């Protein structure tokens, strides 16, 4: 069992959007090799934080669960899609996605400011200088500490 962090701009896809879905949601559109490789390392049952970025109050707002291991990201094949990548036409395995299901929405999101104020979390990749990856690994200790900050049992 591993832990991850999924980053999304709430203006395009929020945790509330995920909650409204009846079925698990493909986490599509990732076009960064490191982030792709993290998805390829995911296994069913892995858990992840849902992080809202590029918004008024960046924060971890809840949790998701990986419910399907990686498979080809078909949005790369769609010329109408914003994440279309013609290189995938000859290589459909180029980009990957996993399916995630909603797990929990925190009554009190753990804001980026709060994460920064928590010394035990100073090593978090999310807090690293210049971090831009949309998928990040989270250690078991970080997972436990952050759930504590969110007052989740």
Partner DNA sequence: GCCAACGTTGGC
> Of the ranges 19-27, 37-45, 49-57, 101-109, which one interacts with DNA (CB under 7 A)?
49-57
- For 49-83, b where at least 16 C-beta lie within 10 A, e where not — what string? bbbbeeeeebbbbbbbbbbeebeebebbbeeeeee
Q: What's the rounded Cα separation, in Å, for the pair 48 and 147?
A: 11
Q: What's the rounded Cα separation, in Å, for the pair 36 and 93?
A: 11
Interaction of residue 89 with DNA, rule CB under 7 A: no
Per-residue interface string for the shown chain with DNA, residues 90-119, x marking contact by CB under 7 A:
----------------------xx--x---
Of 33 and 71, which CB lies nearer to DNA in the complex structure?
33
Interaction of residue 79 with DNA, rule CB under 7 A: no
Of 44 and 54, which CB lies nearer to DNA in the complex structure?
54
The string of DSSP codes covering 45-94 is T-EEEEEE-SSSS-EEEEEEEEEEEEEE-GGGG-TTSTT--THHHH-TTS
Interaction of residue 60 with DNA, rule CB under 7 A: no
What six digits make up the tokens of 85? 């990548």
Of 9 and 81, which CB lies nearer to DNA in the complex structure?
9
Find the binder of DNA among 16, 32, 117, 125 (CB under 7 A).
32
> Of the ranges 26-34, 41-49, 66-74, 139-147, which one interacts with DNA (CB under 7 A)?
26-34
User: Which stretches of the chain bind DNA, using CB under 7 A?
Assistant: 7, 9, 32-34, 53-55, 58, 112-113, 116, 128-134
């Amino acid at each position: 069992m591993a832990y991850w962090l999924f980053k999304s701009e709430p203006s395009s896809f929020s945790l509330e959007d995920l909650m409204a879905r009846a079925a698990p949601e493909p986490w599509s559109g990732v076009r960064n090799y490191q982030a792709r490789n993290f998805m390829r390392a995911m296994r069913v049952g892995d858990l992840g934080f849902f992080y809202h970025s590029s918004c008024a109050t960046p924060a971890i707002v809840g949790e998701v669960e990986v419910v399907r291991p990686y498979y080809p990201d078909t949005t790369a094949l769609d010329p109408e899609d914003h994440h279309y990548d013609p290189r995938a036409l000859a290589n459909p395995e180029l980009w990957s996605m996993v399916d995630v299901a909603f797990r929990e929405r925190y009554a009190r999101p753990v804001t980026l400011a709060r994460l920064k104020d928590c010394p035990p979390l100073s090593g978090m990749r999310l807090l690293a200088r210049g971090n831009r990856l949309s998928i990040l690994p989270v250690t078991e200790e970080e997972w436990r500490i952050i759930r504590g900050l969110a007052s989740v049992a």
